[in-house]
Amino acid sequence: MNTNKKKAIPLFAIGGFALLIFIIVALAVNSEPRWVAKFDLNWISRIQTNISASKTSLIETLTTIGSAETAIILTVIVVVILFFMRKFVVGLWFGGTVLVCAVLLNTILKDIFQRPRPNFDRLIAETGFSFPSGHATGSTVFYGLAAMFLIFTVKQMWAKIVIGVVGLGWIFFIMYSRVYLGVHYPTDVFGGFLFGVASIFISLGVYFLVREPLHNLLVKWRIKDRSVIK
């Protein structure tokens, strides 16, 4: 078994496990058992505390950074930078993962489940279906991929830990903000997080399998790719 396959297998295993848990949560949300309502109401009561105009305004501003629109804009910027650095394989992988998983598949899932948004204690106006949360999925995929890319790049263990903690902390804040603003149930953001995690690890597994063939194809087309192939 070559090195790339050895790297891909555990990534597929983690991604597959996250996807399995997402499917379980999605089916539960769709069938609406009592524990789902109890779970959601319990966490909403915990999160929607000490509501104030200033706090709501700050959270509303910050949560836009986790939107699908922001993820698309930031993805385009990252891909352009990677292409400018002639890292075409990495750029195609990164851009493709965010656009397919965080935007396209998330939209399809929303249309499949068609869960209405909460209609109580809503602090801002929002449209569209509720499950899974687009903000949770988009922020998990984009910032999670960016964090994973940096973790694989840096050599110092302390830097890897800091990057992981900061990235995960920011994703959790986006999830918290959507529940605080009353536009998502906790199971919406949890489902979005799980789907985002599954997308990241499965995509990384695919990347390790296809990066060398894709690199060789670009070389064959006389396109000099500087993505690291080890």
Nearest to 86 by CA among 187, 230, 222: 222
SS3 assignment, position 183:
coil
Nearest to 73 by CA among 99, 55, 93: 99
- Residue 229, pLDDT score: 52
Q: Which of 65-74, 88-97, 179-188 has the lowest mean pLDDT?
A: 65-74
CB proximity list for 125: less than 8 A, separation 6 or greater:
none
Element (H, E) at 26: helix 3-31
C-alpha 15/C-alpha 62 separation (Å) is 28
Q: Which of 100-114, 132-146, 202-216 has the lowest mean pLDDT?
A: 202-216
- Residue 209, pLDDT score: 85
For residue 181, CA distances in Å to 37, 63, 84, 178, 218 come to 18, 9, 39, 5, 46
Domain ranges (residues) in the chain = 3-45+53-221
DSSP 165-179: HHHHHHHHHHHHHHH
For residue 54, CA distances in Å to 62, 123, 135, 188, 206 come to 12, 12, 22, 25, 44
Q: Which residue has the tokens 């505390």?
A: 49
Mean pLDDT of the 78-90 span: 88
74-109 core/surface letters (b: 16 or more CB in 10 A; e: else) = bbeebbeebeeeebbbbbbbbbebbbebbbebbeeb
C-alpha 124/C-alpha 183 separation (Å) is 7
Q: What are phi and psi of 132, to 5 degrees?
A: -80, 160
C-alpha 31/C-alpha 153 separation (Å) is 43
**Single pTM value for the model:** 0.89
Per-residue pLDDT band for 50 (boundaries 50, 70, 90) equals confident
Per-residue pLDDT band for 104 (boundaries 50, 70, 90) equals very high
SS3 assignment, position 155:
coil
Per-residue pLDDT band for 228 (boundaries 50, 70, 90) equals low
Mean pLDDT of the 207-223 span: 76
Tokens, residue 206: 């695919």
Per-residue pLDDT band for 53 (boundaries 50, 70, 90) equals confident
